[in-house]
Each structure stands twice: as C-alpha cells, then as structure tokens.
Amino acid sequence: MASQAGRLTVSILAVVLALTLNASAHHGTTFFSRDQADMVTVQGRVTRFDFRSPHSYLYVETTEASGETVTWRFESVPVPMMKRQGWTTDSLQYGDEVAVEAFPLIDKSERFAWLGKVIKADGTILNPGRTRAIPSWYVQ
Amino acid sequence: MSCTGKKAFQRGASGAVVGAILLLALAAWYLPARLDAQSPAATAEIPDLSEIWARLGPLPGRPNAPLVPTARAIGFGLAFDEVLSPRYDCSPVSAPLILLDPFNFQIEQQADRVILRYEKDDVVRTVWLEGHGHPEPGAYDYTIQGHSIGWYENNRLVVVTSKFVFEPTGLDEPRHIPSSTLKKVTERYWREGDRLQVEATTEDPLVLLKPFEFTWEWERTELPLERYDCDPEDARYPAKFHGSTYQDPNWVRLPATGGQEQ
C-alpha cells in the first residue's frame, strides 16, 4: 500500500515536472525573499568589493537605528555578466558612500541579501542586470 | 677525397635522394587528406560559424518541449541534498545545460576539429571532425564534458557527445535531475545571417522517458569572451543557506545489506 502511494506520488510529480521543468544551470537563490515588504535599502560605506565568479560580493558598513554598526553582505552575478552591465573592478572603492537596494534572506539569519542595485553618492546607478533572483515587480 | 670516402658520400647522397622521395610520397598521401576540409568543394558545405555568440533564447515560434524524467530520476532529485551540488565547488556545467546558460561562447573552426569556448566555467570543448584520424575514446575515458565527434551536413555542424561522467544535477540544477553515463547529446548548429541556431537532442534512458529536445539561438557579438575564474570559496558560501533535505543531515541510518556484501 505504501509503495503504491509512493508510486502515485512519484507519478504525480513526474507529470508536474513534465509540465514545468525548465532546464537552466545556476545556483539556487530560493533562500532570498522576493516579497516587496522585505526589500531593504542600506545606506552606508563600502568596506569591500569582490568582483568575482560565480558571484560578486559587496560589503557595506552601516549604522542601524539602535546605534549599532553592522556590515551587510550583498551577493550578485559573476564577472562576465557584471561587465556586460558596465561594471569594472573599480566600480566601487573602499569608503564610497552608497545606498543599496537588496532582497534579504527569508530567515534573516544573517545580514545577507541579493543585490538589486547600487546608488552612489553622485547619483550614478550600478545595475547588475536581471536574474531569477530579482523579483518581477522590482524596477532596476 | 679517397675512393672509400667517395663511395660513402655516394651512398649518403643516394640515401638522401631516397629519403626525399619517401618524404614527397608521404606528403602527397597526407596533405590532400589534411586539406580536404578546406578544398573549394568541401568549403561550400561548411558554414562559417567562427564567431563569438551572445545568448538570445528559444527559436521564435518554437517553444521548447519540457524535460520528462523517469521516476528514478525524480526519486533521486527528491532525495538529493542541494548542499552536495558540485556547482558549489566550481565543477563545470556540461552539455546540454551549458548551451542554455546566460553567457557568451565562441566557435573556432579548424580543419580537423571545432573548438567551443564558453565564458561559463571557462569550459573548452573539442569536437573532433570525422575523417581526420583522431583516436577513439577508451573504455575508461569518461569526463565531465564527454567526448565529442562532429561533421558538416547540409550546411550544418553536427556534434555528438557521449562518455559523460554521472552528474547529480546534470539535466536540471534546481530540481536535481541527474544525467548518467548513458547521456548522449546531439547538437546541430547553423547560421542565419548574424544569428547562430541550434537543435539539440539529449538521450539518457536511465534518466529520461523520452529524448529531451530544444532549440536555441544566439546573436553575433563583438564583445570579447570574459574569464570566469570560478572561486571555490566564493562558490560554496551560499550553499549553507539552503538547509538540508533531511531533518538531521548528520545522521541517517544506513540500511542493512541483508548479507549481500561483496
């Protein structure tokens, strides 16, 4: 009986997968929230920018409402994709004042988020381009 | 020059003449075969695909059919733990998924081979063109990118790749659909102006109920290929946020073998 139920479950899943399966290769990013209410805007100072693959990382130090100084880590796309959006290894320098829009972890276990865009003090917008981690409602 | 020296010189000269004749005969036999792919008649059927190509998507009006996995492949996917994915250790992606990744790639056509260079994972695939005497893969020659042979047919480049290693997420990464050592990928590339198009068919009887077929299109770009340079430490960092398929990933009882150990 249990094995029949198991077979049925697998059969249903097979149908579901057959209907929806879309082959594409990437790291999963399902742990980032796509909820508009969760989006964060972090204003602070760049302390590190790793222009790397498979993901570039930006670190921004900010002071929270409580007065505590914290560092956010933002993840984004690999170097070839960043370059096609106009980014270079010098796009962000240590100490740059920035505002970062991003999509944080659903479980909020760390100050870690997927990068939406960076707005520099002079108004320049650095946009890493659209990926599946960017919610459809978000305007870059 | 002494008589003995003269004879030795004559013998040496005769040897050189014979050697030269043999060399010419060898060249006469070898060169036409090497140049065959570049001869005017053959060139007419060889499409010029040697460009850098940027991803577009499925061919217009040709929506791609879904992947239809076997129950065992779905079962494997359900049991698989994301943190075990080799992608978090910079293990490169293979065909057919590498065709669908949003990165540029380059085709370089040579007389006896075609080189496919991808930005993604800095993958380089060598397609050995038939009729040029390259060695066949041995029984043990399984690799991530497999072994590719190719030929030109009706103004298309046909590439057939087999001898892949097992990949736990080889046919669908988010849903952990694997690919087995029976995977065989056939790609047919042709050019329409500044566009490159492909029809790809993947067979894997252990994983697929029917062949997985899709079309894809790229456009010519002047942008250079960028290095990927995957950083393993960087790659692994996000894996920890996925959690585990298992309530306690450190303790699952191994089933008894029923005395079947060898």
Q: What is the pLDDT of residues B216-241, one digit of tens each?
A: 999 999 999 999 999 998 899 998 88
DSSP B45-106: TS----SEEEEEESPTT-PPPPP-B-HHHHHHHHH--GGG-GGGGTPPP-TTHHHHSSS-EE
Q: What is the pLDDT of residue A44?
A: 98
Contacts of B91 (CB under 8 A, 6+ apart): B144
Is the same domain home to B8 and B101? no
Q: Residue B167 above 50 pLDDT?
A: yes
Helix A2-20 to helix B71-79 angle (10° resolution) is 90
Give me the phi and psi of B125, to 5 degrees please: -110, 135
Question: Is A17 strand, coil or helix?
Answer: helix
Cα–Cα distance between B132 and B37 in angstroms, integer? 10
Q: Is residue B220 part of a domain?
A: yes
Query: When comparing pLDDT for A2 and B16, which is higher?
Result: B16
Is the same domain home to B84 and B117? yes
Partners of residue B242 in chain A, C-beta under 8 Å: 28, 30-31
Q: Is residue B47 part of a domain?
A: no
Is the same domain home to B165 and B67? yes
Q: Residue B257 above 50 pLDDT?
A: yes
DSSP label of B175: T
Q: Is residue B246 part of a domain?
A: no
Residues of A with CB under 8 A from a CB of B: 7, 10-11, 13-14, 17-31, 50, 52-55, 57, 75, 78-81, 83-84, 105, 107, 109, 112
Query: When comparing pLDDT for B23 and B38, which is higher?
Result: B23
Given a contact cutoff of 8 angstroms between Cβ atoms, the answer to whether B114 and B159 are in contact is yes
Q: What is the pLDDT of residue B259?
A: 65
Mean pLDDT of chain B: 86
pTM for this model (two decimals): 0.80
Q: What is the pLDDT of residue B133?
A: 86
Using pLDDT thresholds of 50, 70 and 90, give the confidence band for residue B170: very high
Cα–Cα distance between B226 and A136 in angstroms, integer? 28
Q: Is residue B142 part of a domain?
A: yes
Q: How far is B23 from chain A (nearest CA, A)?
A: 49
Q: What is the pLDDT of residue B262?
A: 53
DSSP label of B135: P
Is the same domain home to B75 and B20? no
> Cα torsion at B1, B3, B8, B9 (round to 10°)?
40
Is the same domain home to B21 and B73? no
Q: Is residue B214 part of a domain?
A: yes
Return the residue matching tokens 């920890």: B240
Query: When comparing pLDDT for B241 and B119, which is higher?
Result: B119
CATH classification at residue B147: 2.40.128.20
CA atoms within 13 A on the CB side of B230: 20
Given a contact cutoff of 8 angstroms between Cβ atoms, the answer to whether B178 and B169 are in contact is yes
Rounded (to 5) percent helix, strand, coil in chain B = 30, 30, 40
Of B93, B79, B96, give the one whose Cα is nearest residue B211.
Answer: B96
Is the same domain home to B134 and B185? yes
In tens, the pLDDT along B187-218 reads: 999 999 999 999 999 999 999 999 999 999 99
Query: When comparing pLDDT for B245 and A8, which is higher?
Result: B245
Q: Which one-letter amino acid corresponds to residue B220?
A: R
Section B171-192 average pLDDT: 96
Is the same domain home to B22 and B57? no
Cα–Cα distance between B29 and B38 in angstroms, integer? 16
Full residue range of the structural domain in which residue B76 is found? 52-241
Q: Count of domains in chain B? A: 2
Contact A105 B67 (CB under 8 A): no
Section B137-152 average pLDDT: 96
Among the residue ranges A71-85, B127-141, B150-164, B179-193, the one predicted with the least confidence is: B127-141
Q: Kindly state the percentage of chain B with pLDDT values over 90.
A: 67
Nearest to A14 among B74, B82, B237 (CB): B74
In tens, the pLDDT along A24-77 reads: 445 678 899 999 999 999 999 999 999 999 999 999 999 999 999 999 999 999
End-to-end CA distance of chain B: 79
Contact A19 B66 (CB under 8 A): yes
Section B109-135 average pLDDT: 95
Question: Is B173 strand, coil or helix?
Answer: coil
Q: Which residues of A39-76 are buried (b: 16+ CB within 10 A; e: fewer)?
A: beebebbbeebebbbbbbbbbbebeeeeeeeeebbbbb
Using pLDDT thresholds of 50, 70 and 90, give the confidence band for residue B105: very high
Q: Is residue B43 part of a domain?
A: no
Q: Residue B75 above 90 pLDDT?
A: yes
Is the same domain home to B23 and B88? no
Return the residue matching tokens 């990744």: B101
Nearest to B101 among A25, A30, A107 (CB): A25
Using pLDDT thresholds of 50, 70 and 90, give the confidence band for residue B248: confident
Cis peptide before B66, with omega less than 30 degrees from 0?
A: no
Cα–Cα distance between B213 and B118 in angstroms, integer? 21
Q: Kindly state the percentage of chain B with pLDDT values over 70.
A: 81
Given a contact cutoff of 8 angstroms between Cβ atoms, the answer to whether A100 and A72 are in contact is yes
Cα–Cα distance between B220 and B67 in angstroms, integer? 28
Q: What is the pLDDT of residue B35?
A: 36
Give me the phi and psi of A119, to 5 degrees please: -115, 115
Question: Is A109 strand, coil or helix?
Answer: coil
Q: What is the pLDDT of residue B149?
A: 96
Q: Is residue B261 part of a domain?
A: no
Section B110-132 average pLDDT: 96
Partners of residue A83 in chain B, C-beta under 8 Å: 226
Q: Is residue B44 part of a domain?
A: no
Partners of residue A11 in chain B, C-beta under 8 Å: 71
Using pLDDT thresholds of 50, 70 and 90, give the confidence band for residue B30: very low
Cα–Cα distance between B6 and B15 in angstroms, integer? 14
Section B114-133 average pLDDT: 96
Nearest to B71 among A10, A19, A50 (CB): A10
Is the same domain home to B56 and B29? no
Is the same domain home to B104 and B223? yes
Is the same domain home to B10 and B72? no
Q: How far is B220 from chain A (nearest CA, A)?
A: 15
Return the residue matching tokens 């990928």: B185
Element containing residue B168 per DSSP (H, E): strand B167-172
Is the same domain home to B166 and B229? yes
Nearest to A14 among B69, B100, B242 (CB): B69
